[in-house]
Amino acid sequence: MAHFLDIPYADGSMRRKSSIASSLLARHYINNASRSINSSCAQINESSKTNDTNHKVFVQLNELTGSEENQEWKQTARWIKYEENLEEGADRWGRPHVAALSFHSLLNIRHCLETGVVLMNLEANDLSIVAHRVVEQMVARELIHEDDKPVIVRALLLRHRHVNENTHGGIFYDSRRRLSSFTSILSMKNDSRKPRIIPVVEINGQGGQSEMRLNINDESYTSSQEDIKMCTILKRIPEGAEATTVLVGAVDFLEQPTIAFVRLAEGIPMPSITEVPIPVRFLFLLLGPQKTDLDYHEVGRSIATLMSNEHFHDIAYKADDREELLSAIDEFLEDSIVLPPSKWERQALLPFEELKAKSDMIRESKQPRLVTSEEEKKLLTVGGGGGDGGSDGKKPPNNPLEKTNRLWGGVINDIKRRYPMYKSDIMDGLNTETLAATIFMYFAALSTAITFGGLCSDKTDNLIGISESLLSDAIFGMVFHLLAGQPLLIIGTTGPLVLFDEALNQFCISNDFNFLTVRVYVGCWLVVIALLVSAFEGSVYVRMFTRFTQEIFSALITLLFIFETTIKLVSVYVRHPLLSEYVYKNITVAPLLPMPCLEVSNGTTSIGLLENNLTMVVNGTLGLVSNIDHLLIPEDARGPRNQPNTALFCTILMFGTFSLAYYLKLFRNSHFLGRTARRALGDFGVPISIAIFVLVDYMTPQVYTEKLSVPEGLSPSDQTRRGWLIPMGGVPSWLPFLASIPALLMYILIFMETHIAELIVDKPERGLKKGSGLHMDVVLLCVINTVCGFFGMPWHSAATVRSVSHVSAVTIMSRTHAPGDKPHIADVKEQRVSSRLCGIGLVVMAPILRLIPMSVLFGVFLYLGIASMSGVQLFERLRLFLMPVKHHPQVPFVRRVRTWKMHLFTFIQILALAVMLAVKSSPFAMAFPSFLIFMVPIRIQMEKFFSSLELRALDSSQPNEGVEDEPDFYEQAPIPA
């Protein structure tokens, strides 16, 4: 028993399509005259007209339905790669899935092919010829009686109904298909309702029944909703595909099942059969009596699944006879996994990971051995067209993680690799995809610049604030993207660098040093250190910072973000406590200001002091109110204190900003809206949250909130204490040399952040083609940081999350993948335009930034901390401490490592994290980067206690298996923000 597999593809002989489908049909156009046999691959001799070139397949299952007078072939399933079944009530396709087949039906297929008709390379140009050749062979093999020939032919030529076709008659019924059924043709021949829509069909009965032909003259037709649906599925069918049609059904006139497997010499268009207009190459027919032990539907699904299997249909294209087809079925059965009969009541009883691992093991065991002999290698090299190992004769690209053993060899290679492509870096950015990426990155960069600018202002006593952050991001961002070896990296201030500046500032205060001057000397040493390290190609040692070290560092920054948010919120409650009364009479808190007003707008002064819920409005300018002249409010350099409702309102703003941004992040991988809309809302979650809660604060003017401090124009954050150019004098003569120590610690942070971001961006699966700047980019960043030191601007390094989001924004995903397949990368716009335009726009936002409450930025810090946990495996393993083993997830580090060893690995990481937190909280906080270096020998010593398989499961950078959702930027980046 067999199923008819049809693979649609458009052909020049088909009727003219509407403009909606024309571009897609052109992609599927097949030129029969250009087909040829590849002699190096062909295993059998064919006639000169036979095309045995392998094509991708589209498989279609049609079943015979209806009563005797109204019978028709109804499409019930299709395969592009996976099975899609018709959902009867909804008249639509179900979700793609791996076909689960009955083992008995596979045996039935084998038996049917042993006894049925098998026609290879049948010369035919329409369905009627195929039908008559098939029934003649059935009679010859005594599968049917001579009298059954007309009825079987008539059955084969019945109309075919597909999904979404109108089944209620009328003017639109079957308006876009040519009918090959006698009954359909005769019923429509004189139909005056559709003379301009139905193509003209002429019947020429020449030479008897076996010579009957259907000549179809093309007619143009108007587009419809069905055309649009057809265009959608045509996008998913690979170029050059051919159709396999499986026809199964029960009839009353046969006494026993009869089957036929037909391979046409050339694919021919059969628009009455296929769902989409592509040529049919294979036909499988199974007809039999009503009462039989065969399940026609299951047998049809089985042969359709076989034909959708890449290995089987390759053999089907080249097979000489039925024996080769039977051998292919045997191979399919050998590669299959059989599940025993049982009651599968829970999804956990069918572990996906184990089934996938078993399938991979079977497939790998079948792979041919690699060629090892020198002669065969030479033959392959010659056949590959080169002699240098490449198919195009080009040398393979240099591996940036391998040493050249030349001074500055890595930097030189980066320059030679990337700069010759400079023109294409500009031209590749002149498109709409880059414009969309620029808009996206503008808001992403703006939100982080605001957040870390505010944090930097707080940590450096406003010596370095939002003004310096925006200006440095704009200027040095453009400089970096003009000169970088990997311009897709996004640079900026990051959490670790701000925390290091905090530690350096505390050190300078405690030792009475000028903080900004010390930073100048630190910046100068950075260049020296970077040049020395790059001279000996020290960047290759970034591979020693494995996941073990990266997760400890990431967990440290994540926890510090959360702690910092908590401390900031507590400080708001300290400055603005929840009091029963907010009336100040003769309070001796210095300095004290008379409280005539809190806000002046439109000539009206509103007094925000309440006594017995009294609010007074005084017209005019500032002045004391006579009857409450004893009311005073404490104030310091940061603004008013003890304001009513401020603490509660700031709490609402902070948790509101966090909650909205976090749930938009979760929404990104939900099932609501379309994929593009979900991704847009999820990726813009932080800017959307900031904008909404700034608006909430703006609409609540009666509650005081501390705002972001932004100076007027292009002036420093604190003009009374500093200018734009930082002086180098006024320090002890030995201090410039002492600055080399913090410079080395700073370099460790820049080295680690930049190189990890570079490796993540340049992963092979991202499909980048122009190479990286692993060696030269860190040198360029240190030069930029030297200039930042002279102008009192924040330090810069590659921002991992922002870089990953930038690469994702310029990545074009496929829209033509098979249903059920994950979208794959079609192209990446490797260019220098988007980041440059993004930097230009940053400096124009300063006036609006003065409206942003600091509590909104606290919410962003909390979001950065919580969201970054999702990408840290350490936190996942921490949960397993309190979870019974039977509930552990089926992930590699659980399945391949004994539980106590997994917990030991986690405990070592927690201990190292605790040490780094202790150092960060001590007077030696500036030394915390040095502990990252100490993690490397610790990780090396762990190889004595853990096997290589265990370390590969625990310390590998590979993602967890079986995860369907696309990871967001925080899950892809091991270092947050």
Residue with tokens 């139905």: 198
Least confident span in 392-401, 774-783, 900-909: 392-401
CA distance 795 to 526: 11
Least confident span in 14-18, 561-565, 652-656, 674-678: 14-18
| Averaged pLDDT, 784-801 | 88
Vertex 777, ends 771 and 781: CA angle to 5°? 160
| Pairing, β 258-269 against β 279-288 | antiparallel
What per-residue confidence (pLDDT) applies to 655?
92
Q: What are phi and psi of 87, to 5 degrees?
A: -90, 110
- Answer whether 107's CB lies under 8 Å from 326's CB: no
Give pLDDT tens digits for 358-395.
777 777 776 654 444 444 444 444 434 444 444 444 45
- Answer whether 35's CB lies under 8 Å from 53's CB: yes
What per-residue confidence (pLDDT) applies to 786?
92
CA distance 180 to 215: 10
CA distance 716 to 710: 9
Sign for the pseudo-dihedral over CA of 779, 780, 785, 790: positive
> pTM above the 0.95 mark?
no
Give pLDDT tens digits for 35-67.
333 333 333 344 334 455 667 888 999 988 887
What per-residue confidence (pLDDT) applies to 218?
38
Q: What are phi and psi of 556, to 5 degrees?
A: -60, -50
- Answer whether 797's CB lies under 8 Å from 395's CB: no
SS3 state of residue 196: coil
Q: Residue 714: CB partners within 8 Å, gap ≥ 6?
A: 467, 471, 843
Q: Using H for helix, E for strand and C for coil, what is the string for 246-277?
A: EEEEECCCCCCCEEEEEEEEEEEECCCCCCCC
- Whole-angstrom CA distances from 252 to 99, 256, 257 are 30, 10, 11
In the chain, what are the domains?
46-167+174-181+239-334 (3.40.930.10), 373-402 (no CATH), 451-554+713-848 (no CATH), 580-641 (no CATH), 871-972 (no CATH)
What per-residue confidence (pLDDT) applies to 638?
62
Q: What are phi and psi of 540, to 5 degrees?
A: -65, -20
What per-residue confidence (pLDDT) applies to 967?
60
Burial environment of residue 910 by CB neighbours within 10 A (0 to 12, 13 to 18, 19 or more): middle
Position 18 pLDDT exceeds 70? no
Q: Residue 635: CB partners within 8 Å, gap ≥ 6?
A: 591, 592, 593, 641
Position 636 pLDDT exceeds 70? no
Vertex 741, ends 736 and 745: CA angle to 5°? 135
Sign for the pseudo-dihedral over CA of 404, 405, 410, 416: negative
What per-residue confidence (pLDDT) applies to 51?
54
Position 879 pLDDT exceeds 80? yes
Position 617 pLDDT exceeds 50? no
What per-residue confidence (pLDDT) applies to 54?
66
Position 972 pLDDT exceeds 70? no
Mean pLDDT of the chain: 73
Q: Residue 274: CB partners within 8 Å, gap ≥ 6?
A: 6, 7, 8, 58, 60, 243, 245, 280
What is the rounded end-to-end Cα distance, in angstroms, of the chain? 60
Position 909 pLDDT exceeds 50? yes
Residue with tokens 């991202």: 766
Per-residue confidence band for 87, with pLDDT thresholds at 50, 70 and 90: confident
Nearest alpha carbon to residue 300 among 108, 127, 132:
108
Q: Alpha helices, DSSP H only, in 810-941?
A: 834-842, 846-849, 854-868, 873-879, 892-895, 899-920, 930-941
CA distance 73 to 71: 7
More confident residue, 961 or 19: 961
| Averaged pLDDT, 744-773 | 84
Give pLDDT tens digits for 88-146.
777 788 888 888 888 888 888 888 888 888 988 888 888 888 888 888 888 888 888 88
SS3 state of residue 569: helix
Position 699 pLDDT exceeds 70? yes
Per-residue confidence band for 196, with pLDDT thresholds at 50, 70 and 90: very low
What per-residue confidence (pLDDT) applies to 230?
55
Helix (H) / strand (E) containing 203: strand 201-204
| Averaged pLDDT, 156-175 | 62
What are 738's two structure tokens? Answer: 């002492």
